[in-house]
Amino acid sequence: MKHALSVSGLTCSYHGQAVLQDLSLAVNSGEIVCLLGASGCGKTTLLKAIAGLLPLEQGLMSINGRTIVDEQQWLPPEKRNIGMIFQDYALFPHLTVAQNIAFGLRHWDKARTAAKIQEMLTLVHLTGLEDRYPHQLSGGQQQRVAIARALACEPDLILLDEPFSNIDTQVRHSLIRDIRKIFKAQGVTAIFVTHSREEAFAFADKMAVMNHGVIEQFGSATELYYQPSSRFVADFLGTGSYLPATVKNQTRLLTPLGELALASNETLLDETSVDWLLRPQNLRVMLQSDGDGEIIEQQFMGDSCRYTVDFSGYKLIVNSNLLMNVGDRVAVEVEPHLPVVFAVA
């Protein structure tokens, strides 16, 4: 299968220290992929490497089957047909909205350029604002201009570096939703960088969680959240608790909360000690005067509460719609789910 982007064996170093280490990634046409990770994990370096803004030590890269990097060649950025959208939008302050959108169309004739400008204005819902300058626009509108400018050149791939970090929280969610709709309607293949898992969940089709220059896991948001391949991925993508457990007959899990069916990607020998990951929604609590748990912390979340429960000396994080107080005794039950376990080192 021909991928929209194929990266293989990519290695990149700064001052003799590897930032990307033998990294590989395949993105399908029309997919929105997020590079997610903490500062310094290599996600922005990978984005710049794809754009051609950084030299590589080794690796292969192709876009829609066209080789852009291999042992013999390295195409410069302007020949890769890639659109980039930066964190600060990088709009030209002395150009109008229309002129910014048309910046990459200098070799087109006037009629075709004018038609493309109107098409882009309609697409990003900025019709009527073509004669304004960037300083006359809101942050969200400036981001839409940056999107329109990138799309106008009809790139094979769009790269976005922290595209929503400068947007007010009040409009960020609606902007993410609108831009995702635009990309999907246009069949855009996009890769974006963020450190926010909430942005990744809302915008991406797939996520690549990065750690120290490698991709720890690549897949859909639900796959990575509910079936993380490592404790690093599990902890990075959301709140969770861990309980000690023991494997029985490779198919059962003996836990402080009872015995459960086990299905694991790795073969676990009998009597293997494991840590059992429990997301807040994997547990249920009920007020019970003689319950084995005690509420020790409460956090009001608006539509629910998040409780920390002391259960036989273990701290469990639980979401519930019940209003309870610190000090209340509770019973703890497990919601049906496929247990995720990690062997104890």
Task: Count the neighbouring beta carbons within 10 Å of the beta carbon of residue 290.
Answer: 6
pLDDT score of 268: 65
Q: pTM value?
A: 0.89
pLDDT tens, position by position, 80-116: 999 999 888 889 999 999 999 999 998 899 999 999 9
Q: How confident is the model at residue 2 (pLDDT cuts 50, 70, 90)?
A: confident
pLDDT score of 15: 75
Q: How confident is the model at residue 225 (pLDDT cuts 50, 70, 90)?
A: very high
Q: How confident is the model at residue 117 (pLDDT cuts 50, 70, 90)?
A: very high
State the DSSP code for 108: S
User: Element (H or E) spanning 19, and its range?
Assistant: strand 17-27
pLDDT score of 42: 92
Burial, 256: exposed, middle or buried (Cβ in 10 Å; 0-12, 13-18, 19+)?
middle
Lowest mean pLDDT among 71-80, 258-267, 300-309: 258-267
The string of DSSP codes covering 243-304 is EEEEEETTTEEEETTEEEE---SS---TT-EEEEEE-GGGEEEEE-TT-SEEEEEEEE-SSS
pLDDT score of 86: 84
What domains lie within the chain, and their CATH numbers?
Answer: 5-235 (3.40.50.300), 239-343 (2.40.50.140)
Q: H helices of the chain, where?
A: 43-51, 97-101, 110-123, 139-152, 169-186, 197-203, 221-226, 231-237
The helix/strand count (H/E) of the chain reads as: 8, 20
Q: Region 5-13: what's the mean pLDDT?
A: 94
Query: Do 160 and 194 contact (CB within 8 A), yes or no?
Result: no
- Identify the bridge partners of residue 190 per DSSP, sorted by sequence position: 32, 158
Residue type, 70: D
Helices 169-186 and 110-123, packing angle to 10 deg:
130
CA 216, 221, 225, 230: dihedral to nearest 10 degrees?
-10
Phi first, then psi: give them for residue 275, nearest 5 degrees: -100, 125
Query: Do 104 and 146 contact (CB within 8 A), yes or no?
Result: no
Q: How confident is the model at residue 265 (pLDDT cuts 50, 70, 90)?
A: low
What is residue 114's three-state secondary structure? helix
Nearest of 227, 221, 234 to residue 33 by alpha carbon: 221
Query: Do 274 and 345 contact (CB within 8 A), yes or no?
Result: no
Q: Report which of residues 251 and 217 the model is more confident about.
A: 217
Q: How confident is the model at residue 269 (pLDDT cuts 50, 70, 90)?
A: low
Q: Region 289-304: what's the mean pLDDT?
A: 93
With tokens 């493309």, the residue in question is 116
Sign, CA dihedral 15-17-22-27, equals: negative
The distance from CA 101 to its chain's CA centroid, rounded to whole angstroms, is 27
Lowest mean pLDDT among 114-123, 266-275, 317-326: 266-275
